[in-house]
Chain A
């Protein structure tokens, strides 16, 4: 199975700051990498698919990049509603696997 490792496990930032999340795959997954946001008690929400494509309805302050084994999710100008946990997920090969998540907290 492909292991997905996210770093850091938690991140503190202030409203208006930028935030960068990293996801590393245990083998090359081309660009088959998705990012999800989950708020406490809520359903996960797709943000980015195919490493860099913004899902419809997601604000443009979210962006994704990377290919192969290393991927990045960037949020510019953090808004209060962005404080949540972010998961990456590979769809290169079944079983699809998720990273353990990065929790973005308010500083």
Chain B
């Protein structure tokens, strides 16, 4: 059974840092890119970041609003992905979901999701 477990959320002051972890099981982690998607309270979904597989250099992509502040990493030996968030802003407050990113027929889709980690940025 594919499983993704998000952890590390919490309350942080503006300008602070937080690291989210996504612990996975049930699939060959190293074969899949991983993405993070967030959802502000009462709002829609926003893709935040992607990390490709080792075969693609573990290269990363970010939405413009977090580029330069967030980094994403993966540890294929532990089946874990991480989202390091620095210089957090009030507008980063959201539920953050780790997602497995599958590529089929040329496109990508988020086929499995973690349960989410709530990040609240407030003074």
Contacts and interface: CB of A to CB of B under 8 A. Distances in A.
Nearest to A101: B44
A43 B109 contact: no
Contacts of A96: 35, 47, 50, 108
A91 B44 contact: no
DSSP majority for the B interface?
strand
Contacts of B110: 34, 36, 44, 46, 89
B68 interface: no
B96 to A, nearest CB: 12
B113 interface: yes
A100 B46 CA distance: 9
Which of A43, A98, A99 counts the most B-chain CB atoms under 10 A from its CB? Answer: A43
Interface string A74-107: 0000000000000101011011111111000000
Contacts, number: 73
Interface residues of A, number: 28
A19 interface: no
Given A34-B109, A46-B110, A95 B44 contact: no
B97 interface: yes
A53 B38 CA distance: 25
A53 B44 CA distance: 23
Interface stretch (B20-28, B73-81, B85-93, B99-107): B99-107
